[in-house]
Amino acid sequence: MIAHSVFFYLFATIAIFSAILVTVSRNTIHSVFFLILDFISISCLFIMIGAEFLGMIMLIVYVGAVAVLFLFVVMMLNVTEQRNQWFTSVKNSAHIPIGLIVSTIIFFELIIVIGGWKYKPDLFNVSNLIISETTTNTHSLGQIIYTDYIHVFQISGMILLVSMIGAIVLTFRQRTGVKKQSYIKQISRERNEGVQLLEVESNKGVKIDD
Amino acid sequence: MGHWSIIFQEIYRILFLLIPVLVSVALIVWLDRRVWAFVQKRQGPNVVGPFGLLQTLADALKYIFKEIIIPSSSNKVIFILAPIITMTLALIGWAVIPFSATQVLADINVGILYIFAISSLGVYGIIMGGWASNSKYPFLGAIRSAAQMVSYEVSIGVIIINVLLCVGSLNLNDIVISQKNLWYIVPLFPMFVIFFISALAETNRPPFDLPEAEAELVAGYQTEYSGMMYAMFWLGEYANILLMCALGSILFLGGWLSPIDLYPFNLIPGAVWLILKILLLFILFALTKATVPRYRYDQLMRLGWKLFLPLSLIWVVLTASYLFYFNLLPVN
């Protein structure tokens, strides 16, 4: 068990420090890399408590896709060097009280949620959750997510779909004057449309654009 | 003392896996060049050692003795980290590959997700290298490869779901054992073709080697790299290709199972079969490199998003309906 707690504190320290460095570091690209490090150490923590499925999904979705897009945007925007002048200048620290209020509210909400979880364990009756040593947590997750939580699961999928369509609608614009390759047009081109065989009399020539 | 002996034992097992992987990467580079030369009626590397087998070793020695040049305007930490990350990610994926029912370094429950996660992290090496070089060609190469790898990961993920529907487990050994009667290449053949092409795109192999398209981008994200750091990118790339071949042979070609379950074939250890299947897939990779011209970038994106993703999604629906209708869903 000593090794277990050593690794727990290692990952937890890395997670907390990289989370702090995300906000503190001056270079935006460095912030994104610390965010990635944070995601990775949190997925390590997930794996350590036995939730290996969640840990891996965290790696795939957040590190493999979301953070890549973050990095993409930050690199394209070229906002690499931004000096943080928190608490020193009046102009740049105006947002700090609001930020403090929001983070306090989130902190108390977390306390309420975790406290409620402790005092009311059967908030939702899970009908056929089989917890045993032999079933892997992927299996047990599948057993409840498609039975007891099917509506929540489907609704969250719908919300994601709607937001995706919304983003596409907002950014989509029909550009005119762009040459596009049409595969169907290319393939369906016949010989008699493209080639013309002409008998040419001498000294007369051919008019091409007839 | 007990802890130390466990640690030494594990280090011994890791080295016993890593050193053969590194040696086979060296050999596979040679094989790649030989196949390429064979298609083009050339000799290929045949001077250093028997059949030119030691050519890669000679190349590696040359790289080691070359000077490592770090551009003065580059972001030095990220510039140095990029090849290290590429190489490390290419090697740690091998931890879960089963070479037989018992010969596997880490027999974890979510092995296939682990490999998928590792291969989706592989894009970071390229983006970091391209950005930290602080130069236009590497940056364009990095941007291209990020978009390319993210797009093709999606279709690979959906293809993996197809196989998982038939298996009912995320463990790689379970995936292999469930193919005892029928390799998945037979019922899921279209998926195997799509997987093969997506794996080419995912590992930046020709005809999808746009991140380093030398006609447009000099060498893409590797332009500013030299010496051993360039060699590390290169080794990582080939280790990744081998890993993808191993994944393909586990998902579709029955992994370490022998093709015929009869007397003389049973005696051959599973590792040999797996290596033979990896080699077969790799030769297919090399033949593709030798014969197919490079894709244009918009064609690549169209292929990934408009063709492979809908096709593999439709196939998921078909597989699921078939398994459900004939009551073949794996339940345990």
Amino acid A17: pLDDT: 92
> What is the mean pLDDT of the segment spanning B279-284?
91
Q: Is the pLDDT of residue A85 over 60?
A: no
Q: Are residue A60 and residue A134 in the same domain, yes or no? A: no
Which of A162-171, A191-200, B260-269 has the least mean pLDDT?
B260-269
Q: Does the residue A194 lie in any domain?
A: no
Output DSSP code: residue B212. G
pLDDT tens profile A36-45: 999 999 999 9
Considering A32, A58, A83, which residue would you say is the last residue of a domain? A83
Q: Is the pLDDT of residue B93 over 80?
A: yes
pLDDT tens profile B42-60: 888 888 878 888 888 888 8
Amino acid A106: pLDDT: 92
Helix (H, G, I), strand (E, B) or coil at B125: helix
Amino acid A18: pLDDT: 92
Amino acid A127: pLDDT: 56
Mutation target for A interface from B4, B120, B174: give the one with most A CBs within 10 A.
B120
User: What pLDDT band is residue B318 in, cutting at 50, 70 and 90?
Assistant: very high
Q: Does the residue A197 lie in any domain?
A: no
Amino acid A12: pLDDT: 92
Q: Is the pLDDT of residue A87 over 60?
A: no
Kindly identify which residue of chain A lies nearest to residue B299, measuring between CA atoms. A181
Give the CATH number for residue A71. Answer: 1.20.120.1200
Kindly identify which residue of chain A lies nearest to residue B7, measuring between CA atoms. A3
Is A146 within 8 Å of chain B by CB? no
Contact list, B114 vs chain A (CB under 8 Å): 56
pLDDT tens profile B178-203: 888 888 888 888 999 999 999 998 88
Q: Are residue A5 and residue A70 in the same domain, yes or no? A: yes
Total number of domains constituting chain A? 2
Q: Which of B230, B245, B243, B246 lies closest to B84, judged by CA?
A: B230
Q: Select the more confidently predicted residue: B217 or B272.
A: B272
Q: Does the residue A19 lie in any domain?
A: yes
Q: Are residue A78 and residue A141 in the same domain, yes or no? A: no
Find the domain containing A161 and state its range. Answer: 124-171
CB contact under 8 A, B120 and A57: no
Which of A60, A68, A181 lies nearest to residue B146, judging by beta carbons?
A68
CB contact under 8 A, A75 and B3: no
Amino acid A156: pLDDT: 93
ipTM of the complex: 0.81
Q: Does the residue A23 lie in any domain?
A: yes
> What is the mean pLDDT of the segment spanning B69-90?
86
Consecutive H or E run containing B307? none
Amino acid A38: pLDDT: 92
Which of B131, B153, B298 lies nearest to residue A64, judging by beta carbons?
B153
Q: Is the pLDDT of residue A165 over 90?
A: yes
Q: Does the residue A46 lie in any domain?
A: yes
Q: DSSP of B46-90, one letter per residue?
A: -SSSGGGTTHHHHHHHHHHHSPPP--TTS-HHHHHHHHHHHHHHH
Q: How far is B93 from B244, CA to CA, in rounded Å?
A: 10
Q: Is the pLDDT of residue A91 over 70?
A: no
Q: Are residue A2 and residue A75 in the same domain, yes or no? A: yes
CB contact under 8 A, B78 and A52: no
Q: DSSP of B141-168, one letter per residue?
A: HHHHHHHHHHHHHHHHHHHHHHHHHHH-
Q: Which of B127, B54, B56 lies closest to B89, judged by CA?
A: B127
Q: Does the residue A28 lie in any domain?
A: yes
Q: Which of B165, B129, B226, B189 lies closest to B311, judged by CA?
A: B189
User: What pLDDT band is residue A120 in, cutting at 50, 70 and 90?
Assistant: low
Amino acid A128: pLDDT: 56
Q: What is the pLDDT of chain B when averaged over all its residues?
A: 85
Q: Which residue is listed with tokens 């296939």?
A: B112
User: What pLDDT band is residue B282 in, cutting at 50, 70 and 90?
Assistant: very high
Which of A98-112, A174-188, B236-250 has the least mean pLDDT?
A174-188
Q: How far is B175 from B119, CA to CA, in rounded Å?
A: 19
Q: How far is A137 from B45, CA to CA, in rounded Å?
A: 51
Considering A171, A187, A204, which residue would you say is the last residue of a domain? A171
Distances (CA, A) of B97 to A202, B18, B86, B204: 76, 12, 19, 22
Q: What is the pLDDT of chain A when averaged over all its residues?
A: 81
Q: Is the pLDDT of residue B314 over 90?
A: yes
Q: Is the pLDDT of residue A56 over 70?
A: yes
Q: Which residue is listed with tokens 């009912």?
A: B168
Q: Are residue A78 and residue A5 in the same domain, yes or no? A: yes
> What is the mean pLDDT of the segment spanning B208-229?
77
Output DSSP code: residue A27. B
Q: Are residue A7 and residue A74 in the same domain, yes or no? A: yes
